[in-house]
Structure 1
């Protein structure tokens, strides 16, 4: 490999020294901080020999190389004259030249992506709660139904708390302080004050009575502000009492801002939007409906749809709603159709699974959060398709004056809410909207496509599982057992919250959520490398399997603090020897994910890499079979 030539190509592609703020590397990636990431052509970078893929994450432009990354860094260091910490003498970075909506959507997606499994789970329970009563298998008045309803509601009701945690990791805010502020916003006592509707003041300041459960934007804004609140308090707080005074001040200042200023902003914006839409509807209903249907995904994303609750809740009192619920019908079906199109069009298996589940949730239960945050907003083009479809079907609904006479979240199953006694045409119009929204969105999404990173074709010889199994059974293939380097829970590599591992750019494998911090040798072999920050170890088995153990995600930023090294490079180890110890509590406290990927970095040299069927393992259990 010509490292110098590839490094020069990388250097030129990222904009040379004038665009590089700093450069460091971890076990597998070059981590650039750039003045302007938008000038870099990802496709061009991926064509450079030695480059496995690219990733935009945590303010870094990451180029995934693999085990040879140090050689590329050495060549780049000669060109960029980087200091020991990776920085250059370049001037302070100017504001990133990135489309504002793209930046906002990327931020929302980064914070929401870890929540998608919970949202999908809650959405699917909602589907079950619709289906079982229809089949006569469950009474809506029983305690089982009530408890299942709690299961389904919990991920959505406590969405601000979960978002507080992910946003805190994004902004490097103390996670538990951010979670505390979210808890204040949905505390039962505060919710009771909102329900009572009486004027509330805090130290003479007016508190807007708003329900923040299931909201998104208020807590994200609040955590962003906490980044600066913590920095400010750090500067004024005496070191001797900082451990006591800082959390007190952060909670007090942030909680006050959340209830008095930041949280109400969403309420005021929702009230203004509601007034505008109702004004337009009163004078030109044919225009209000397409606007509402087109922008409903964005309204749901901000939590402003609750501002319209007096309108659609009136449907439960037999007063027809000709605005919100019809618009939600078009929007919900569009989200489901867009996700279904993504499922069929995507190449990545993980994307297919998420999109398929999100589609079912939106189409059958009307729960669109998994589709919105996990699929359409992430890829943008499906969102545009859904919004265009909403505008088209919304115009039709405005012309025919479609009405809902019952409050239910619009979906395929709840379509009877549009049956109006003596007005058969209304139900037929609803069916037309349902079908048209599905077809138009699906077709537009298919035409627009998605900007997806293709799943690497690793271990193509193992694509036919049956053939592999037959070979293993017959003993015609040698198999290397890779024992788990730690005790913990086994998860699929696709589930790791890092695209480099999830898309198997470095190779196939599994991940472990560790129970303790001891990391043992998974086989007999040689320690190829221990990264200087100790967060990752490269091993090579006596049979030739090259394995990367990456303790935690992005833990390179901890600079080795929570890790204790017990082996050296080139040392020969036996299965079960202690390699490293990690302080998991310290890693969590710093806001990092402790999930530990185990990656066979030379996957292409083998027929298949098969994971264990166990869900919990110890160091004496096999985690992977390399065939």
Structure 2
């Protein structure tokens, strides 16, 4: 089955084009927002060759494809006749949807905002990792022009994070993306930043006190500003006469949003962000062992629920922006490797050629940081290997937690990206990350091998 055929089958089983409100994709999944959830044929999709599973979570209906997801996504955009904008693709207007504000909507919104910016964040993070490796091996000296260029390129998406978030948030909130970006840009304009550095009292229109807060590298303030801005833009459109709407609508939007952004929403978002930073800082300094252990166990479950971006990305970005590191990454690293160990143990035992190939390929993929094929295709299907992987991840997380393993730059967690744990100021950070990886893999592999060998059900399944 080629990608076009798979895309057509998926579309048919999510209710057809008329049932798709919007869709996007992550590393392994197609993520749909549907008008009528009853038309989502979960069992039919699971039977489809090329579909590894389905998940309904966070207001989204997710179809797990694997590493070929981008190709299927491209075919879907052709079938649905939409133009890719780098974010969530809107297919039809949702005016007939029930208006509601529930927890699942919040989760869907967070996922829709952060998922599109991941390639830029990941690419820049890998530049920073490369820079660390080049300087540690003596292939590049600090202070050279090349070093300086690579440094600011690696820092660019984090410094200008509000701009990227303002664009993706505008797309998600159905605001003009350029107007959304303008709201993000004005909050980090050099003149405003100079006012912040000067520290002198600033009043807008002579009477509105402006709270001088730095919005570079922040997450929450700009999302809140664009969310409010989307309603202001609709209001401006409604009251603007048609003859002069072209210039009056953006003018009114800005005039209303300037005081709201700098006097009300921006400072409020800063307070919320500061509180979140404080909570994370307390956890990472007072109980550094807790996060690696917790996510070493629950990371696969979070991934199964399709909530890994929603749960982790805002927390990780906030932690790295505030402290220069995060401790969730170590938990995800050992959890991924543990899933690989369990799948490869099954591959060692399997006699069925197809199952052996599936377990082998998915185990290797999990080592690289993409675990859905191993989870859905092998471990969860056989049950015991999945539980063994959770144990392995927990023990690996315990080791990383005890020794305070930190992820220095944001990036996916797998063996190919393990240099993100290299700390120029603490060589042992990387060493203990490796120890955690080895232990989690060995424990998961050994337990899965033994439990599968003793299970007649599993051995029959994999072709004894």
Which position in structure 2 is the counterpart of 1:332? 329
2: CA distance, partners of 1:226 / 1:33: 25
1: CA distance, partners of 2:280 / 2:62: 44
Which position in structure 2 is the counterpart of 1:140? 142
Quickly say closer, same or farther: Cα 1:266–1:87, change in 2 above 3 A.
closer
Q: Does 1:417 align with 2:425?
A: yes
- Contact 2:46–2:54 under 8 Å retained in 1: no
- Picking from 109, 112, 117, the partner of 2:111 is 109
TM-score (norm 2): 0.55
Quickly say closer, same or farther: Cα 1:147–1:433, change in 2 above 3 A.
closer
1:109 Cα deviation after fit = 3.1
1: CA distance, partners of 2:321 / 2:260: 21
Describe the SS at the equivalent of 2:425.
helix
1:102-135 Cα distance to aligned partner (Å, 9 max, x none): 5444433333333333222212211111111112
1: CA distance, partners of 2:97 / 2:93: 15
2: CA distance, partners of 1:262 / 1:386: 44
Which position in structure 1 is the counterpart of 2:98? 93
1:198-597 matched pairs, under 5 angstroms: 198-203=200-205, 204-273=207-276, 287=287, 290=290, 298=312, 301=315, 303-305=317-319, 308-309=322-323, 328=326, 330-338=327-335, 392=398, 396=402, 414-415=422-423, 417-418=425-426, 431-432=431-432, 435-436=435-436, 439-440=439-440
2: CA distance, partners of 1:217 / 1:390: 32
Describe the SS at the equivalent of 2:203.
strand
- Picking from 180, 183, 194, the partner of 1:181 is 183
Which position in structure 2 is the counterpart of 1:126? 128
1: CA distance, partners of 2:203 / 2:226: 23
1:156 Cα deviation after fit = 2.5
2: CA distance, partners of 1:120 / 1:353: 21
Which position in structure 1 is the counterpart of 2:3? none
1:168 Cα deviation after fit = 2.1
Q: Does 1:44 align with 2:43?
A: yes
Quickly say closer, same or farther: Cα 1:237–1:276, change in 2 above 3 A.
same
Q: Which is higher, the Rg of structure 1 or of structure 2?
A: 1
- Contact 1:165–1:179 under 8 Å retained in 2: yes
- Contact 2:175–2:230 under 8 Å retained in 1: yes
1:391 Cα deviation after fit = 7.9
Quickly say closer, same or farther: Cα 1:298–1:176, change in 2 above 3 A.
same
- Contact 1:333–1:434 under 8 Å retained in 2: no
Q: Which consecutive unaligned segments of at least 5 residues does structure 2 have?
A: 1-9, 23-31, 64-71, 80-91, 296-310, 344-356, 371-385, 411-418, 448-464
Describe the SS at the equivalent of 1:417.
coil
1:273 Cα deviation after fit = 4.2
333-342 vs 118-127, greater mean Cα deviation? 333-342
- Contact 2:199–2:212 under 8 Å retained in 1: yes
1:386-442 Cα distance to aligned partner (Å, 9 max, x none): 997898468636xxxx699xx9769666446347xxxxxxx5x98547633775599
Describe the SS at the equivalent of 1:198.
coil
Describe the SS at the equivalent of 1:156.
helix
1: CA distance, partners of 2:117 / 2:94: 34
Quickly say closer, same or farther: Cα 1:188–1:148, change in 2 above 3 A.
same
- Contact 1:180–1:251 under 8 Å retained in 2: no
2: CA distance, partners of 1:107 / 1:146: 36
- Contact 1:197–1:209 under 8 Å retained in 2: yes
2: CA distance, partners of 1:121 / 1:269: 28
2: CA distance, partners of 1:438 / 1:190: 49
Describe the SS at the equivalent of 1:193.
helix
1: CA distance, partners of 2:181 / 2:440: 40
1: CA distance, partners of 2:111 / 2:248: 34
- Contact 2:134–2:140 under 8 Å retained in 1: yes
Which position in structure 2 is the counterpart of 1:581? none
1:506-556 Cα distance to aligned partner (Å, 9 max, x none): xxxxxxxxxxxxxxxxxxxxxxxxxxxxxxxxxxxxxxxxxxxxxxxxxxx
Q: Which has the higher strand share?
A: 1
Quickly say closer, same or farther: Cα 1:127–1:40, change in 2 above 3 A.
same
1: CA distance, partners of 2:333 / 2:43: 34
Aligned length: 343
Quickly say closer, same or farther: Cα 1:269–1:124, change in 2 above 3 A.
same
1:441-475 Cα distance to aligned partner (Å, 9 max, x none): 99889x9xxxxxxxxxxxxxxxxxxxxxxxxxxxx
Quickly say closer, same or farther: Cα 1:408–1:197, change in 2 above 3 A.
farther
- Contact 1:169–1:175 under 8 Å retained in 2: yes
1: CA distance, partners of 2:107 / 2:62: 19
1:52-95 Cα distance to aligned partner (Å, 9 max, x none): 999999x997999x99xx9xxxxxxxxxxxxxx9999xx97363
2: CA distance, partners of 1:387 / 1:224: 38
- Contact 1:23–1:86 under 8 Å retained in 2: no
Q: CA RMSD in A?
A: 5.7
- Contact 1:271–1:307 under 8 Å retained in 2: no
TM-score (norm 1): 0.42
Higher relative contact order (Cα pairs below 8 Å, separated by 6+ residues): 2
- Contact 1:118–1:155 under 8 Å retained in 2: yes
Q: Which has the higher helix share?
A: 2
